[in-house]
Amino acid sequence: MAEAVLEAQGLRKTFAGRGGKVLRAVSDVSFSIAPGETLGLVGESGCGKSTLARLVLRLIEPDEGTVHFAGRSFTGAAPDKVRRMRQQVQIVFQDALSSLNPRMTVGTNISEPMRLQGIGTERERRDAAHELIELVGLRREHAQRYPHEFSGGQCQRIAIARALILRPAAIVFDEAVSALDVSIRAQILRLILDLQQRFGLGYLFISHDLSVVKRIADRIAVMYLGRIVEIGPSDALYRAPLHPYTQALLSAIPVPDPRRMRVSALGAVEGEAASPLDANDLCPFRGRCPHRMAICDEAPPALVEVREKSAVACFLHSPVQLEEKHA
């Protein structure tokens, strides 16, 4: 396999929570993304997805763990190197309009990262912005206009052009299509896939909606209360989900047959969600799991590979861990 464009190892981040408690937002998260590959990251609101995105971009510092871009340490890089290394990973947020500068033209918004990095002359920056505007499906004349003149989908195209201007190796999409109507969403997803093919980009594609991730991801990581509970190739994960939480999520995806239609919200998963404030190392899904066993209250399940390229953190699938415990 080609060297990973983006690799996270053992990332942890806690925040000071209410009542002096420690809030575990991200716990021991590891993954890698190859050039041209999309890793989907899915989980309910509050499970730590955006915190993970901010750790990857080093917008916040991890308590523990490392991030590497193409084999080079980003978390260990000196401050003067961080700025240059930032070129390699860009982010696209859910609310494109508010992520753009309302006082700058669309063209200047797109080329601004070049100026901040001290790259090119003004003319070169303008030309680069024009080229990208067309590539994302807008017209060159749009460069002179201002962000508020555009629709949500068009603003997302502008944000994507800006993310591309520094020729990154990877892009993080944090709920980037979640606010769009279904038909616009499909267009933006197609654009995102086209750009990936053209530039060989690695994507971390974050969504609370499994049906959206399904359309775009090669592999999927399922996150629950700060931890990856299952990770594996998308088709295997959909065909035969391993973790009880993934199974619950999939049963909440609407299906085409109206008689079997279910609500699509992840909130459809039954039971009380645990709080990241009460987190410990035991299985975070214990409180909602229909298969809970004695060992689930005694030991933490490790994320182990149980079939080709698929790993899960659940005692149902790791008899070795069970045997060790009872040996």
Ligand X SMILES: Nc1ncnc2c1ncn2[C@@H]1O[C@H](COP(=O)(O)OP(=O)(O)O)[C@@H](O)[C@H]1O
Question: Smallest distance, Å, CB 294 to ligand SF4?
Answer: 10
Question: Smallest distance, Å, CB 76 to ligand X?
Answer: 23
Question: Smallest distance, Å, CB 207 to Mg ion?
Answer: 9
What end-to-end distance do the CA atoms of the chain give, in Å?
Answer: 38
227 binds ligand X (CB under 6 A): no
Cα–Cα distance, 86 to 167 (Å, whole number): 11
Q: Nearest residue by C-beta to Mg ion?
A: 50
Cα–Cα distance, 217 to 235 (Å, whole number): 9
**7 phi and psi angles, rounded to 5 deg:** -140, 130
Unique residue bearing structure tokens 């508020």 = 148
| Helices and strands per DSSP (H, E), number in the chain | 11, 12
Cα–Cα distance, 245 to 291 (Å, whole number): 11
- Would you give the distance in Å from CA 263 to the centre of its chain? 23
Among 11, 23, 34, 143, interactor with ligand X by CB under 6 A: 23
Q: Which partner from the list Mg ion, ligand SF4, ligand X, none does 292 bind, CB cut-off 5 to 8 Å by kind?
A: ligand SF4
62 binds ligand X (CB under 6 A): no
The answer to whether 129 and 107 are in contact (CB under 8 A) is yes
- Across the beta sheet with 304-307, the strand order is 89-92, 170-174, 202-207, 38-42, 219-224, 227-233, 310-312, 304-307
285 binds ligand SF4 (CB under 6 A): yes
302 binds ligand SF4 (CB under 6 A): no
Among 34, 192, 283, 303, interactor with ligand SF4 by CB under 6 A: 283
SS3 104: coil
114 binds ligand X (CB under 6 A): no
113 binds ligand SF4 (CB under 6 A): no
286 binds ligand SF4 (CB under 6 A): yes
Cα–Cα distance, 166 to 133 (Å, whole number): 14
Cα–Cα distance, 288 to 43 (Å, whole number): 15
Interstrand relation of 202-207 and 170-174 (parallel, antiparallel or unpaired): parallel
Stretch that binds Mg ion, among 50-58, 95-103, 273-281, 285-293 (CB under 5 A): 50-58
25 binds ligand X (CB under 6 A): yes
Among 45, 73, 151, 280, interactor with ligand X by CB under 6 A: 45
Cα–Cα distance, 61 to 51 (Å, whole number): 10
Mask: binding to ligand SF4, 208-247, rule CB under 6 A, as x and -? ------------------------------------x---
Question: Smallest distance, Å, CB 46 to ligand X?
Answer: 4
Among 49, 68, 214, 243, interactor with ligand X by CB under 6 A: 49
Other Cβ atoms within 10 Å of 172 Cβ, number: 26
Question: What is the contact surface with ligand X in residues (CB under 6 A)?
Answer: 15, 23, 25, 43, 45-51, 276
Question: What is the contact surface with ligand SF4 in residues (CB under 6 A)?
Answer: 244, 283, 285-286, 289, 291-293, 296, 301, 314-316
